[in-house]
Every structure is written in C-alpha cells, then in structure tokens.
C-alpha cells in the first residue's frame, strides 16, 4: 500500500487492489480521427450491486489556461467553457486531435509542428456522473494514469499524485461519503509524462514519439456500487492433466471485504463449469478474507473431459465463466464475473539452453510478431480485432507486447481468436533504469520500487485468467537485478500467475529464474534471405525474440496517403535522405542499407513505381525466408529453432519499417511472404543447401504427397524439372526433404525462377511456391556483425528479372454477400503467347474510385503464373468497407500490365 497523501480527507478511503482493467484512448476509425464523446453526456451510474460503470467521457484543458481552484473545477455545475470533449480513455493529444486542433500527424512531418511545451504542464480531466441511491457504497476504480494525478471528487481531494502514479498501478478510492444523490463530479489533474523518470509508457525507435508523451487517462475510470461486503480479485487457477488432457482441477478464489464498521456474515455463492459454489464467511468490521473453493472441498471442480483451449491452428478456443455473488442477510451486496480458459503452458530450456514452449503437452514453435498500439493510445475494438484476424491469416500464433500493455478487450479478443501473447515490460527507459547501462532511464528510488511492485501485481491479476497469455517477460533488453526480480516474482506468485515467467527477451539471466533462453541478436536492418539459414547470430536456431530485415516499404496506395509528392520523390531518389517515417534513431534514420541492397540485387530504380515494386519483391522473399528457415529448423536434433518474433507485426503510425501490415491495414510483400511461409502444409526451398522441404504444421501426418520442382530462366526456358512421389511427413511441425536442386544448370542466365508444387494423394495442389534465385550468392561479412545487422559485401544478381517480357493476365471476378460480409472470387489466367511467366501478380480489391477496400483477407496473393495457367483467389471483407461502391479488382505485377475489372 502506498503512503497516505498529506491532505487526505478522513472520510475518503483509498485502496490499492491487485487487479486491473487496462484500456487505451478512444479511437473510432482506424484511419481518421473520430468524433469525440461529448463531455456533457453525464454518466448514469445504476445502484445495481457489483456494477462497474465506466465514465462516458471527459472534458480536458491545460492548467495553464484554467485559473479556477481545484475545488471549483471538481464541483458539480462548474462551467467547463472552452474545454475539449473527449472519450472515456484518452491522452491529451488524442483529445486535441479528435477536436481538430492539429492536422493529421501521420501525414508528412505534421507531427513536428505540434509544440511540446503545451504538454509540459498538468492537464485537467473532468467528468460528471449521477447516482440516485446513496445507500450503496461507491468507489472509483481506475488505472492507466500517465504519469500521475491528483484526484478530486465534488470539490475534495481524495488522492494525491504521490499515490496515483505509474501507468499500470490500480487504485480503488472509497468515495461513499462524498457522493450525493444527483450529479457528482470527478476530476484528475494529470501530470506530464517522462518515460525516463516515470514507470509508465514510452517509445524508443518504433516511431516519432508523440509530443505529449502520452500523458492522460488511458484506461477506463469505473464507478463501482455495492453493499457492505465487496467481492474482489475473483479468479480461477487451472491444472490440466498432461499429456492425457482427460481431467482438470479448478481452484476458485476471491477476496471478501467487509467495508462496514460492524461484523457481518456474508453468503458467497456462484457457479463455474456447471458446479454450484456456496460458502458462509463471517467478517469482522473492515476485515478481508480470501475465500477458496478447491476440488477437495467441492468435488465438481474436478473436471472430466474438460474443454481445452488451443492456439489457432492447433484446436478450438472454448472458454469458461465464473460467477460469484456476495449476499448479506439475503440481500445481494456485490457480484464478480471472470472468463477463463483451461490450458497448460510449459517453457523449459532445451539441451542448447533455448526456451522451448509446450502447450497442452505439444511442442510449440512460436511464430510471432511485435505488436504496437496506436501512437496516441487510441483504442478501437474493431481495429484491434481486424489486426488479430490478420495475425491468424498470416499463420502467426503469438504477438509480443513490449510494454504498452493493451486493454482487457485486447486479451479477450486474443482468447477468442487463439492468438498467444507475450506481454512484458519495455526496454531502455525507466523500467530498465537500474540495469541497462546503455538505456536512458533514471535510477530507481524507493518509491519506484513500490510502483513497480504494484504494477506487477495489478498486471498479473489482470492477465492470469486469459489463456492467450503465454508468458510474462519481466525484462526486455536487460534483465532485472536480484531485488527487482524478487519483487516481481513475489507479486506474480501472490496473484496466482501460473504462466511461465521469463527474465528477459535477451540472452540474460536472473538469480531465481536463471537463463532467459532467448536471444536478441538482431538483425534489425537489411540482410539477404540466405542470412536466416545460418545457425548463428539472428539465424534460425533458438528463440529470437525480435528480429527482421528492417525496412518494409508500404504499397503505393499507402505511400501516397502518408507522404507529399516531394517526399515520395526523395524516397526513391536519395538513399541517404533522412526519413521521418522510418525512425527517430540515428541508426535507422535513412534507408541507405536497404536501398543499396535493392539496387545491388535488382537494379537501380527508375522511378517511384519501379522502386515500390522492387521493394515488394524483396520484402516478400526476405520475410518468407525468415519464417521458412525457423520452420524448417524447428525439429532439428541439434540447435533447433524454438521461436521467432518478426519485429514488428504492425506499426503505431505510418511507417517505412518494421511491419507486416501498415497503419491502414494494407498488405505489402512482407505480409504475403509471411502468409506463404506459414502455410499449414508447406513446400519450401532452402537457401543454404538447395534442399526442397515439406513442413507440416498440422497435427496429423500426411502421406502420398507429390513434390515437383521446376527451374526456369526468366524467359520461361526450362532448365530443370524434378518430381518425387509418395512423400510422407509427420505432424506438429515435422519436415521431410523431398529432393535437392543441382548445384548448377545449363545456360548463361544468372537469374532463375524456381516453381515448387505440392499435391496431396488425391492430386489437389495444397502448396505452391515461387522463388527468384541467382547463381551469384549474397556474401555476408559475419566478422563485422553488429547489434543491428551483418554487412553484405556482395549481392545476388537478380537483374535478369528486369528484361522479362510483359505478360497479360486476364481476370474475372464475382462477389457474393451475406450478413455484412462479402467474398470476391477472382480467377486469373496467364494470357501470354510466349513462354515467359507472369511474375508476382498482385490483386487488389478496390472501390469505384480505385481506393483499396480494407481490411481484406486473401486466400493467396502476389502469385506467379506460367503460360496457360489459371489460379483462383478469394478475398473476404466487410461489405460496408466499400462504402456503397460496387467492388472492382485491380491486377498488376512485376511484368504484368495493370488493369481493373468489375467484381460485382
């Protein structure tokens, strides 16, 4: 418990509890600023016991512009003239953006024009709520204050910034004696944020940091009502029998707290998994007891044939509900509800010291991406859900959250879609101030230790029942020292957090947990595709917690939305130009490494369109190789690959690097390269030894497969054709080598195309994969490897792709719609008369104005067709995202003339 503030009113009691509701700022549209919730929408708080009602919105204003006293500002009826209305969760800058104060910060350099000085003083947040029944007890329940705040209710201060500090600490303030019938007012005086001084949230090199540094209220502020006995901290601890999965044991816990000054007897009742729970609990005045139901005293908590939760692609995602009620003298006093899943996660170190996850007894290769929230922490459920659906579409099973821990709704969606999460504290700022000598965070004080313990306790309690939470990383680039580790682990244990705890995302260790079993050896900037196959540095061995080949150039559609014509011109002409939309870091400020490699391998760009098409080809092959290498090596007997997190999955703004999908949910070559690599049953080429391998990510084995590998010159001349029949491969990530390509083939070409086709026993094509390869290898200077890349001293020669003859591709499309969802089926056919294939044929769903309809999930894309070949692709999307327009399909490609056809 924090020290009591100096000016606490005696009738206002503050409680720090060990569970929280994490939310982020309101944002109704993923592409444009939303209309804010009106501040004059007074929140009606019902008297229903157990109700937790979020305040509907706030009015905000800088303290530099408010001369009235805190008592006046926080009193009902105060005229908030000139204040900015905003939603229930909002940073200061998010509120100002929603009110049109600034131009779109994601376009060009608009964000640079926002004055940071405006956010170096506290800001007021003010909201009104009404109650009718004052016989109920009333509490303010909140977290997500960035960075600290004084809290006032009806003209009285109920907590000070010395207590209410830290983005992740959770607070419950008893305001019963201050609340009256009718309108009541709550006000927060929020202090500026400094991630190097405060245990809050910050940004490193993902994007240009927001000028307000995310100061504000980024989680819901709840008004709770109840009777004399409060139920808190309700949760379920699950134990699943592994490997049989035949039985499970549930232990239900909750804290019953008597908030009255007299003894009471509480009746605790409820249900879980079809079992009734009941317990009589005597409580002295102001006493709290933990109520526990175990399989020993409640046999129904011993389940036979439990519904087991699995990650997507491994099984279903069933969930259970816990409902509890506390009654006094036959009257309901409080209620509690929790949703949970039954699953077992283990994460031992393998013989090589790498972290090897197992879920429900089955080995798990973590195929992940780094998750970013919106830069201004604006929360929109539909936008988050769309991105989670993209993760599943890509075949990813895990998202890593380095700090910026998302709201409860995010983890509930992850539970629903079967996406595992790796939450943890962030690197390099105050969170690592005591342990990271290269970071910018200040050393911890005693007060910081208290905030850290409370933060860990609150997040552990919030996350423990979510089956999607795979682990918690208590360190990122650096591991905590012995003191901090002990504080974290004690808080996790007290909260019954049962998922594995990892000391750091890097190769570090702590006294109690030992080695992390992870590596953070890069790369973060461009390396060639063959890099990923080396079992060294960031290559496919062990668990790489964050890595990629860096830049990820968006589509032309997105680039034209985010950059001015002059910036677009500089993008392709000047590799050494500072790119505001790449990173604030000096290391990643330009695209020089990437651009030199692009020109060295594919030829110098001749214009913006040529630059972007080469970028998509390069990003496809590189991201595909990254995931394919880790997938191939996952079952190696020596130094297997156990996990890889592509850095990153998405960006919090309009970015030129570290993303598989962009801010507008458009999909570039990186997206479709990852999707191809992570197919459930997949045929792939190995850059290191020329082997053609089948990887089976399905649970059951496959047999009777046929693998065909054909090597062509770019003009379509066939140089090699090999077929292997009767191929079999076990399940759960197993692989089998079907054949090995010859070291050389006839002909003068230095660039070749490799087509791989995998068919099942019935003759159906189940995987199709096309590579562009060179007889001249990329050459890596391993001895000069640094923290962010390995230099390339010689480039592969892919220039043979440039003179490929233009090949027309015909397209017919038809759309079917039902219940708000549309599916467009596109049939592509190579209509060329010669032998040249149509390489990297890209299909986009657009409206009548040519604007992409997003989000969209394609069955496949960026495909290659040989003369006479026909492929059918499907696109699934929300009908409303066409905004009433008839759908059209835009087809283009590496050597495919662009055309648009109707798809109605």
Active site residues: 477, 546
Q: Could you tell me the CA-to-CA distances from 628 to 24, 244, 533, 634 in Å, in that order?
A: 35, 31, 9, 10
User: Under a CB-based contact definition with an 8 Å cutoff, are residues 475 and 429 in contact?
Assistant: no
**Cα Rg of the chain, angstroms:** 29
Which residues, including other chains, have CB under 8 Å from residue 881's CB and lie 6 or more apart? 853, 854, 855, 856
Six-digit token pair at 238? 């699950």
Which residues, including other chains, have CB under 8 Å from residue 215's CB and lie 6 or more apart? 91, 92, 119, 123, 146, 147, 190, 191, 192, 193
d(CA 357, CA 749): 45
Q: Could you tell me the CA-to-CA distances from 863 to 491, 669, 804, 839 in Å, in that order?
A: 51, 11, 16, 7
Looking at residue 259, what DSSP letter applies? -
CB burial string 649-680: b at 16+ within 10 A, e below: bbbbbbbbbbbbbbbbbbbbbbbbbbbbbbbe
Which residues, including other chains, have CB under 8 Å from residue 655's CB and lie 6 or more apart? 206, 207, 552, 554, 581, 582, 662, 663
User: Under a CB-based contact definition with an 8 Å cutoff, are residues 586 and 602 in contact?
Assistant: no
Give alpha helix (H) positions in 580-652: 592-602, 608-632
d(CA 105, CA 211): 10
d(CA 276, CA 269): 7
User: Under a CB-based contact definition with an 8 Å cutoff, are residues 249 and 301 in contact?
Assistant: yes
Six-digit token pair at 200? 């809050």
d(CA 88, CA 85): 10
**Cα-flanking dihedrals φ and ψ of residue 634, to 5°?**
-65, -25
* Nearest of 368, 353, 347 to residue 639 by alpha carbon: 353
d(CA 59, CA 38): 8
d(CA 557, CA 210): 25
d(CA 804, CA 655): 31
d(CA 89, CA 198): 20
d(CA 1, CA 17): 9
d(CA 70, CA 165): 19
542: alpha, beta or left? (left if phi > 0; alpha if psi -120 to 50):
left
**HEC-encoded secondary structure of 317-372:** CCCEEEEEEEEECCEEEEEEEEEECECCEECCECCCCCECEEECCEEECEEEEECC
């Amino acid at each position: 418990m924090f020290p009591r503030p100096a000016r606490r009113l005696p009738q206002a009691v503050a409680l720090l509890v060990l569970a929280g509701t994490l939310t982020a700022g309101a944002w109704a549209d993923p592409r444009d600023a939303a209309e804010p919730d009106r501040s004059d929408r007074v929140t009606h708080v019902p008297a229903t016991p157990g109700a937790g009602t979020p305040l509907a919105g706030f009015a905000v204003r800088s303290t530099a512009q408010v001369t009235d006293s805190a008592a006046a500002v926080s009193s009902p009826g105060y005229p908030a003239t000139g204040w900015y209305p905003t939603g229930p969760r909002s940073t200061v800058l998010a509120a100002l953006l929603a009110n049109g104060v600034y131009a779109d910060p994601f376009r060009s350099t608009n964000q640079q024009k926002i004055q940071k000085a405006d956010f170096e003083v506290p800001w007021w947040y003010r909201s009104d709520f009404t109650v009718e029944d004052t016989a109920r007890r009333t509490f303010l329940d909140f977290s997500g204050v960035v960075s600290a705040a004084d809290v006032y209710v009806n003209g009285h201060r109920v907590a000070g910034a010395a207590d209410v500090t830290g983005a992740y600490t959770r607070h419950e303030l008893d305001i019963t004696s201050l609340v009256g019938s009718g309108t009541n007012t709550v006000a927060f005086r929020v202090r500026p944020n400094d991630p190097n001084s405060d245990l809050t949230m910050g940004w490193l090199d993902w994007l240009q940091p927001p000028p307000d540094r995310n100061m504000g209220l980024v989680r819901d502020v709840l008004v709770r009502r109840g009777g004399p006995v409060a139920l808190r901290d309700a949760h379920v601890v699950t134990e699943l029998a592994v490997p049989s999965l035949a039985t499970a044991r549930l232990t239900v816990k909750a804290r019953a707290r008597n908030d009255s000054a007299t003894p009471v007897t509480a009746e605790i009742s409820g249900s879980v998994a079809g079992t009734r729970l009941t317990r009589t609990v005597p409580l002295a005045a102001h006493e709290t007891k933990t109520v526990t139901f175990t399989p020993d005293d409640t046999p129904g908590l011993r389940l036979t044939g439990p519904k087991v939760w699995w990650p997507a692609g491994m099984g279903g995602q069933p969930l259970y509900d816990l409902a509890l009620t506390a009654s006094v003298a036959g009257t309901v006093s409080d209620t509690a509800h929790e949703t949970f899943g039954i699953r077992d996660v283990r994460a031992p170190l393998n013989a090589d010291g790498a972290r090897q996850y197992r879920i429900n007894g089955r080995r798990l290769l973590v195929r992940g991406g780094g998750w970013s929230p919106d830069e201004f922490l604006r929360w929109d459920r539909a936008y988050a859900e769309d991105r989670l659906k993209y993760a599943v579409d890509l075949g990813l099973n895990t998202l890593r959250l380095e700090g910026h821990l998302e709201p409860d709704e995010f983890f509930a969606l992850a539970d629903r879609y079967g996406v595992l999460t790796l939450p943890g504290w962030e690197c390099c700022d105050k969170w690592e101030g005591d342990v990271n000598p290269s970071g910018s965070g200040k050393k911890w004080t005693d007060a910081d230790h208290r905030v850290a313990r409370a933060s860990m306790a609150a997040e552990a309690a919030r996350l423990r029942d979510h089956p999607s939470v795979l682990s918690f990383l208590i360190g990122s680039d650096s591991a905590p020292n012995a003191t901090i580790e002990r504080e974290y682990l004690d808080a996790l244990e007290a909260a019954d957090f049962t998922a594995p705890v990892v000391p750091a995302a890097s190769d570090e260790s702590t006294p109690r947990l030992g080695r992390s079993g992870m590596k953070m050896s890069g790369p973060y900037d461009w390396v060639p595709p063959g890099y990923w196959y080396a079992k060294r540095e960031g290559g496919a061995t062990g668990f790489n917690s964050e890595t990629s080949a860096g830049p990820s150039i968006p589509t032309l559609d997105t680039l034209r939305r985010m950059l001015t014509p002059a910036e677009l011109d500089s993008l392709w002409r000047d590799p050494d130009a500072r790119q505001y939309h790449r990173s604030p870091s000096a290391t990643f400020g330009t695209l020089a490494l990437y651009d030199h490699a692009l020109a060295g391998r594919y030829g110098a760009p001749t214009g913006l369109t040529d630059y972007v098409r080469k970028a998509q080809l390069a990003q496809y092959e590189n991201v595909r190789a990254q995931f394919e290498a880790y997938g191939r090596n996952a079952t190696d007997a020596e130094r297997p690959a156990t996990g890889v997190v592509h850095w990153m999955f998405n960006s919090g703004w309009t970015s030129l690097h570290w993303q598989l999908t962009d801010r507008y949910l458009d999909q570039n070559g990186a997206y479709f390269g990852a999707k191809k690599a992570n197919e459930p049953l997949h045929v792939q080429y190995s850059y290191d030894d020329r082997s053609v391998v089948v990887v089976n990510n399905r649970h059951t084995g496959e047999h009777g497969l046929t693998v065909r590998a054909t090597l062509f010159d770019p003009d379509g001349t066939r140089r090699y054709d090999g077929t292997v029949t009767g191929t079999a491969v076990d399940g759960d990530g197993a692989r089998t080598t079907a054949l090995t390509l010859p070291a050389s083939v006839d002909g003068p070409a230095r660039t070749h195309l490799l087509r791989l086709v995998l068919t099942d026993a019935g003759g159906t094509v189940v995987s199709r994969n096309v590579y562009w390869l060179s007889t001249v290898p990329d050459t890596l200077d391993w001895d000069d490897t640094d923290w962010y890349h390995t230099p390339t001293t010689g480039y592969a020669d892919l220039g043979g792709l440039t003179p490929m003859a233009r090949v027309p591709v015909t397209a017919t499309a038809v759309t079917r719609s039902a219940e708000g969802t549309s599916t467009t089926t596109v049939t592509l056919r190579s209509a060329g008369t010669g032998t040249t294939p149509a390489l990297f044929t890209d299909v986009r769903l657009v409206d009548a104005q040519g604007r992409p309809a997003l989000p969209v999930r394609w069955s496949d894309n960026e495909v290659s067709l040989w003369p006479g070949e026909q492929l059918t692709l499907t696109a699934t999307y929300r009908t409303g995202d066409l905004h009433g327009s008839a759908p059209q399909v835009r087809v283009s490609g590496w050597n495919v003339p662009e055309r648009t056809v109707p798809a109605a």
